[in-house]
Amino acid sequence: MQQLQNPSASEPLTQPTPVSKIQSWLVDQLADVLSLDPTTIDVKQPLTRYGLDSIDAVTLVGDLEDWLDLELPSTLLWDYPSIEKAAAHMVEEFDVTL
Amino acid sequence: MTLAQYQLAEQLEQALGNPHQVESLMSFQRTAELDEAEQFPHDEIAWLYSWGLQNYYIPTECGGKFTSFEEFVAFVRVLARRDLNISIAFTTLFWSFLTWMAGSDEQKQTLSQLMSEDHTAMCLAYSEREHGSDLVGGGVTATKVAGGYLLNGEKWPINRATISGVTYVLARTDPDGGNRGLSLFMVEKQYLEPSQYYNLPKIKTHGIRAADMSGIGFSDCFIPDRMLLGPEGHGLELGLKGFQITRALCAAFSQGAADTTMRTTLNFAVNRQLYGKTVIDMPHARRTLTNAFVDMLICDCVNIGAARGFHVATDQFSVWSAVDKYFVPVTLEQVMKETSVVLGSRFYMRDEHDSGVFQKALRDSAIISMFDGSSVVNLHALILQRRQLAKARLRIRQKPDQLAALKVRLAQSFSLDQSLPPFEPNRLELFSRGADDVMQGLESTLADLEAWQGSGQSMSSQPVNQAVLSQVIELGKVILEEINAQDALITQSAFEHGHDQSFESFELAKQYCHLHAAIACILMWMHNRNHEDMQGFFAEGEWLVLSLHRLLSRFRRSLTPPPSTYYENVAQELLQLHQADKMFSIVPFQLAQRSRAPAIAAPCLVT
Full set of structural domains in chain B with CATH: 4-116 (1.10.540.10), 122-229 (2.40.110.10), 239-579 (1.20.140.10)
Q: How far is CA B47 from CA A17, B44, B51, B53, B210, in A?
A: 67, 5, 6, 9, 17
> Residue A57 and residue B179: Cβ atoms within 8 Å?
yes
- What confidence tier does A13 reach under pLDDT thresholds 50, 70, 90? low
Q: Does residue B521 contact residue B298 with C-beta atoms inside 8 Å?
A: yes
A64 close to B (CB below 8 A): no
**Residue pairs spanning A and B at CB distance below 8 A:** 62
Checking if the pLDDT of A2 tops 60, the result is: no
From B391's Cα to the closest Cα of chain A, the distance in A is: 9
> Is B516 exposed, middle or buried, given 0-12, 13-18 or 19+ CB atoms closer than 10 A?
buried
Domain-by-domain residue ranges, chain A?
Answer: 17-93
The residues of chain B scoring below 70 in pLDDT are 455-460, 495-498, 595-607
> Residue A54 and residue B434: Cβ atoms within 8 Å?
no
pLDDT at B16: 97
Checking if the pLDDT of A11 tops 60, the result is: no
pLDDT at A96: 82
| Residues on chain B touching A49 (C-beta within 8 angstroms) | none
Q: 3-state DSSP call for residue A44?
A: coil
> Between A53, A58, A71, which is nearest B430 by CB?
A58
Give me chain A's average pLDDT, please: 84
Cα dihedral across residues B340, B341, B346, B350: positive or negative:
positive
pLDDT at A33: 80
Between strands B182-188 and B141-145, the pairing is unpaired
Helix, strand, coil percent values for chain B (each to nearest 5): 60, 10, 30
Q: 3-state DSSP call for residue B598?
A: coil
Does the model's ipTM exceed the 0.90 cut? no
Q: Does residue B33 contact residue B99 with C-beta atoms inside 8 Å?
A: no
Shortest CA distance from B428: residue in chain A: A74
A36 close to B (CB below 8 A): no
> Residue A61 and residue B498: Cβ atoms within 8 Å?
no
Tell me the pTM: 0.94
Checking if the pLDDT of A90 tops 50, the result is: yes
| Residues on chain A touching B236 (C-beta within 8 angstroms) | 54, 78
Q: How many CB atoms lie within 10 A of CB B249?
A: 23
B42 close to A (CB below 8 A): no
pLDDT at B458: 55
B499 close to A (CB below 8 A): yes
pLDDT at A7: 45
How far out from the chain centre does Cα B35 lie? 23
Shortest CA distance from A79: residue in chain B: B180
Q: What is the CA radius of gyration of chain B?
A: 24
Fold of A17-93: 1.10.1200
- What confidence tier does A4 reach under pLDDT thresholds 50, 70, 90? very low
> Residue A59 and residue B433: Cβ atoms within 8 Å?
no
pLDDT at B512: 97
A84 close to B (CB below 8 A): no
> What's the CA gap between B339 and B314, in Å, rounded?
35
pLDDT at B462: 76
Q: 3-state DSSP call for residue B128?
A: strand
